[in-house]
Amino acid sequence: MIPNVDLCEISDITQTNWREALHGVDAIVHLAAIAHRGSPRNDADASRVRSVNVSAVAQLTAAAGSLGVRRLILLSSIGVLGSDSGTSAFDGSSPPAPHDFYSQTKLDAEHAAENAAANSTLELCIVRPPLVYGPHAPGNFGRMIRWVARGIPLPLGAIHNQRSLISVWNLCDCLITCLSSPGTVGKPFLVADEEAISTSELLRLCARLMGRPARLLPMPAALLRMAGAVLGRRADIERLCGTLVVNTRDTYLRTGWRAPHSLPDELRRALTSR
């Protein structure tokens, strides 16, 4: 148990009596979603993901508005803007361009929350982070750490992209700011660590922090993309090779928030906390 925190267990977010669960609640930080999945295997799988990622958000937001909850913070995803920022970074003016089923559900969840909150006094705050890393992180980050720890040679030595990330601790610091800052309400905003890094630089840094050799082979990105297309892993390869940079200047101007901890320090913290 956490001191001074009352825990309310919810077994199914799609079938919850929110009137009971939200009694006396002032603010909500909504992190629940089905993520780190590929395309739905069938209609039932797609329906389940949408029920959690979209419908449950609408139900929770509507209930929060009707019960007088002050603020709801919804964690979305930078993926709603696309999978590659190209030569210019994503910023507060970038239009939505969801690139897969998951990112489409996150954009739909944003719209569902906005619609549900529209006729209430509920303050809605939507946060769009890039890849979140920390101890025991799932997804691409977790896989890369395991590869490096095992000394597996990787054909990623010639990847000169740039990727924005955010540590779980920097993200938590941002969410705490969201609980009270008036500048976080309204238009969705972007968050990230201050530094962007290439995939090859990230792997080398992680290897150094773990005291392991970085066995990176210099395969051209074009060949990796070709192999990904042949093997049906195009999206996975693009996340490793593509550029996705987040410009958080608008967030700073609106809220005064910027990531308090550097990427190298947070990587060290993540790797030593495993």
Q: Which two tokens stand for residue 57?
A: 């958000």
- Please determine, for residue 108, whether its predicted confidence score (pLDDT) is greater than 60: yes
Task: Name the more confident of 252 and 232.
Answer: 252
Give the CB-side neighbour count of residue 108, counting CA atoms within 13 A: 16
Residue 263 pLDDT: 95
Residue 274 pLDDT: 66
8 A C-beta contact, residue 230 and residue 165? no
Please report the domains of the chain, with CATH numbers, ordered by start residue: 1-128 (3.40.50.720)
Q: What is the mean pLDDT of residues 75-84?
A: 95
What is the average pLDDT score of the chain? 91
Q: Compute CA distances 213 → 162, 206, 208, whole Å.
A: 22, 10, 7
- Please determine, for residue 138, whether its predicted confidence score (pLDDT) is greater than 90: no
Q: What is the mean pLDDT of residues 52-70?
A: 95
Considering only 19-33, 116-130, 163-177, which range has the smallest mean pLDDT? Answer: 19-33
Residue 114 pLDDT: 97
Scan for tokens 């609408």, then name that residue: 58
Residue 128 pLDDT: 98
- Please determine, for residue 1, whether its predicted confidence score (pLDDT) is greater than 60: no
- Please determine, for residue 56, whether its predicted confidence score (pLDDT) is greater than 60: yes
Instruction: Kindly state the percentage of the chain with pLDDT values over 70.
Output: 96
Confidence band, pLDDT 50/70/90 cuts, at residue 73: very high
Task: Name the more confident of 202 and 21.
Answer: 202
Q: What is the pLDDT of residues 258-274, one digit of tens each?
A: 999 999 999 999 998 76
- Please determine, for residue 38, whether its predicted confidence score (pLDDT) is greater than 70: no
Q: What is the pLDDT of residues 184-226, one digit of tens each?
A: 898 999 999 999 999 999 999 999 999 999 999 999 988 988 9
Residue 12 pLDDT: 82
Among 59, 56, 64, which residue's Cα sits nearest to residue 106? 56
Residue 2 pLDDT: 60
Q: What is the mean pLDDT of residues 157-177?
A: 95
Residue 67 pLDDT: 94
Instruction: Report, in angstroms and rounded to the nearest whole number, the Rg of the chain calculated over CA atoms.
Output: 19
The DSSP annotation for 26-43 comes to -EEEE-----S--S-SSH
Q: What is the mean pLDDT of residues 239-243?
A: 89
